[in-house]
Amino acid sequence: MSLWGRYQRWAGQYPDESRWLPWVWGIFALFLAWVGWTLRAEWKSLHAATAEAAAAAPAPSAAAARDQLRAKLTAGEWGPADPDTLDLAFAAAAAGERRNPNLERGLWDLALANCGRDPARIAVLRRLGRELNLKPEAARADARARSASSFPPP
């Protein structure tokens, strides 16, 4: 016999609900209190472990990583890079982080236009787009690099 069947047989022996119903609700309340206490204890331990892990390994900020990348580009580690082009590219990345795709696209197009037809500068911008996680913009830079290399310079 199932547990529910046993309960029904037991409850049927006592037709007066005023005797057994408070007892059943009391057991149910104790069960809920136990579940709540257990979940709260688990939540506290999980929260403490998460806080300890976060305090143990502080991640470098995005601004610091972007400043390091800008310093590399200004030093010319990836190739020739115009400071105005870099400013436009980083502004496009900031617009993308703020969920403004139209501004991001416009700034990136200005950065591409600022590169002219120089394949080296376009390659730097293309790599920067990949590094900043600007996939559609990096793809447009790829297309621009292909068109710039297929035509002679003006």
Label each residue of the chain as H, E or C: CCHHHHHHHHHHHCCCHHHHHHHHHHHHHHHHHHHHHHHHHHHHHHHHHHHHHHHHCCCCCHHHHHHHHHHHHHHCCCCCCCHHHHHHHHHHHHHHHCCCHHHHHHHHHHHHHHHCCCHHHHHHHHHHHHHCCCHHHHHHHHHHHHHHHHCCCC
Query: In the prediction, which pLDDT does 153 show?
Result: 46
- What is the mean predicted confidence (pLDDT) over 128-134? 84
Does the reported pTM lie above 0.95?
no
What's the pLDDT tens digit per position in 71-111? 988 888 988 888 898 898 888 888 888 888 888 888 888 98
